[in-house]
Amino acid sequence: MTLAFELSALQELADPGAVFENARRWSEYVGVVSDKPTYVVTNFTRKNRIRQDFFSGPKGKGESLESVRKQFDTDRHVFVATTDEDREVAEENDWEFLDVTEAAEAAEWTLAAETDEQVEEDEDDQRDDWP
């Protein structure tokens, strides 16, 4: 399988680097597709220690998905993203679309929002009468 993450989907994950490492166990190729400038994607992947097999570069998402599909011949091509527009782009380029929340649930990845909720719960459990 070739697995592509839209940058916004990666940003919704609590630990994108760990997600990439996990995805490598069951995917042949894993990368990032975005219409953001290359330096934005590069900065994010470096910060999160993500080693990608491909990235979109200065191309749009549709053109990138088409190019990756031609370059990486696998049985499945799955695009993990967040919006209906991303779903349309995936379908137009013969990729399976998977919403990041569904992917996270299936693969047991933690969403950043879930860790934010846990921090708030932990803060609520603390005593207010401490000097």
pLDDT for position 122: 47
Distance of CA 23 to the CA centre of its chain: 10
pLDDT for position 119: 45
pLDDT for position 90: 98
Do 110 and 17 touch, CB atoms closer than 8 A?
Answer: no
Closest listed residue to residue 74, CA positions, set 91, 94, 100, 104: 94
Per-residue pLDDT of the chain (131 residues; tens, 9 = 90+): 999 999 999 999 999 999 999 999 999 999 999 999 999 999 999 999 999 999 887 789 999 999 999 999 999 999 999 999 999 999 999 999 999 999 999 999 999 998 755 545 444 455 455 44
Question: What are the chain's domains?
Answer: 2-124 (3.40.50.1000)
pLDDT for position 116: 58
- Residue 3, judged by CB atoms within 10 A of its CB (0-12, 13-18, 19+), counts as buried
pLDDT in tens, 66-88: 999 999 999 999 999 999 999 99
pLDDT for position 64: 96
Query: Which tokens belong to 103?
Result: 């992917």
Strand order in the sheet with 2-6: 54-55, 29-33, 2-6, 77-81, 96-99
CB atoms within 10 A of CB 82: 17
